[in-house]
Structures are given as structure tokens and as C-alpha cells.
Amino acid sequence: MKRHSSRLTIAMLALTGAAACSVGGSAVHAANTGTPSPAGGDRTWLAALHQANLAEIQAGELAKKKGSTAAVRSAGAMLVTDHVASDDQVTRVAKSLRITLPSSAAPSDAAAASRLGNESGGQFDHDFVSTMMTGHQRLIGKTQTEIAKGTEPQIRTLAQNTLPVLRKHLATLRKAAPTG
């Protein structure tokens, strides 16, 4: 009987390992925690928010230093404060769900930050506001999708709490947009 039990255990481990390989680690997460891994869309949104936070913190720091108007410098300071707070929440949720987040901003966001770093004056203000508005509009859309279709309660709650902040940022950026 003991011999049969050992064979059964080995067979179950082999099946669990094969299942883990076939679903990209979700079975491993489920086996280790007793709960299913968040769906791909939930993980994707969380990673996108994390990368956006990293990019917007960097861009906000640039705006605080390089903005030629008080409105742009103020918008930059707001982005830094709010996206640091947002990323604290993102990393806390990711840790609790055992989700590994990207270590840097998306390459396109890093390129935009590099471009902004080489600009000054009115050109910086214009490009900063334009870039941040486009990014916020895109992230608002992704966040609305997460709220509507997300399945992981912690991540959906984070999305619900994030949406009004993103909308506030978009409104502030519109007001900071250079005229003329």
C-alpha cells in the first residue's frame, strides 16, 4: 500500500508539473498558494500600470525642473506624488498575489522621457503635456477595461481607485496645456 501511495504521489507531481508548464506558471501559483493565479488580463493591467507609474514619475520629475510655466511644474509635482503612491499600492497588490512586475518603464515611455530630457522652454511644456495626456488617455481606457472585465478582486479594486486619479491628472494636464 505504501509503495502504491508513493507511485501515486510521483504521478500527481508529474501531472502538476506538466500542467504548470502548459499554462505558463498559473498552476504553480495555484499549487503554491491554494488559489488560482489572477487572469492574464489582470496581470497585464497591473504590469501596465506599474510601467506607466515609473514613466510618469520620471516625466513628472523632469517637469518639476524644466517646466517653463507654474502650471506645468505643478502638474509634474502632482504626477510624481500620485504615481509614487499608486506604485506603492501596485507593488503591494503584486506581492500579495505573487505577481512579478517589470523592472522598468516600457521602452516607448523611456524613449519619450529621453526626448523630453533634451527639450526646454515652451517646446518641453508642449511635448510634456501632449505625451502625458496621450498616456493618461490610453491608461484610462485600459483601466476601464480592467474594471469591466477583471476577475481578481484586489486588482479590480485598485483599478476602481485608480480611475478617478487618472481622470484628475488628465483634467490638470488639459489646464496646463500651453496655448498658442
* CATH classification of the domain holding 64: 1.20.1260.10
pLDDT at position 100 is 96
Q: Are residues 31 and 47 in the same domain?
A: no
Cell of residue 161, nine digits? 481607485
Q: Are residues 75 and 131 in the same domain?
A: yes
Q: Are residues 45 and 113 in the same domain?
A: yes
Q: Are residues 119 and 158 in the same domain?
A: yes
Cell of residue 18, nine digits? 506538466
> Model pTM greater than 0.85?
no
Closest alpha carbon to 158 in 147, 148, 171, 166: 147
Q: Are residues 8 and 59 in the same domain?
A: no
Interior angle at CA 123, CA 118 and CA 128, nearest 5: 75
Phi-psi region of 11 (alpha: psi -120 to 50; beta: other; left: phi over 0): alpha
Q: Are residues 46 and 130 in the same domain?
A: yes
Q: Cβ(74)–Cβ(176) under 8 Å?
A: yes
Closest alpha carbon to 135 in 39, 65, 54: 54
Q: Are residues 10 and 93 in the same domain?
A: no
Q: Are residues 43 and 31 in the same domain?
A: no
Q: Are residues 14 and 59 in the same domain?
A: no
Q: Residue 146: which H helix or E strand, with range?
A: helix 121-149
The parent domain of residue 25 ranges over: 1-37
Number of domains in the chain: 2
Q: Are residues 5 and 89 in the same domain?
A: no
The C-alpha R_g of the chain, in whole angstroms, comes to 21
Q: Are residues 17 and 92 in the same domain?
A: no
pLDDT at position 40 is 86
**How would you write the pLDDT of the chain (180 residues) with one tens digit per residue?**
444 443 333 333 333 333 333 333 333 333 344 445 567 899 999 999 999 999 999 999 999 999 999 999 999 999 999 999 999 999 999 999 999 999 999 999 889 989 999 999 999 999 999 999 999 999 999 999 999 999 999 999 999 999 999 999 999 999 999 886
pLDDT at position 12 is 35
How many Cα atoms occupy the beta-carbon half-sphere of 78 within 13 Å?
18
pLDDT at position 104 is 93
Q: Are residues 15 and 101 in the same domain?
A: no
Residues of the chain by 3-state class (helix, strand, coil), percent to 5: 80, 0, 20
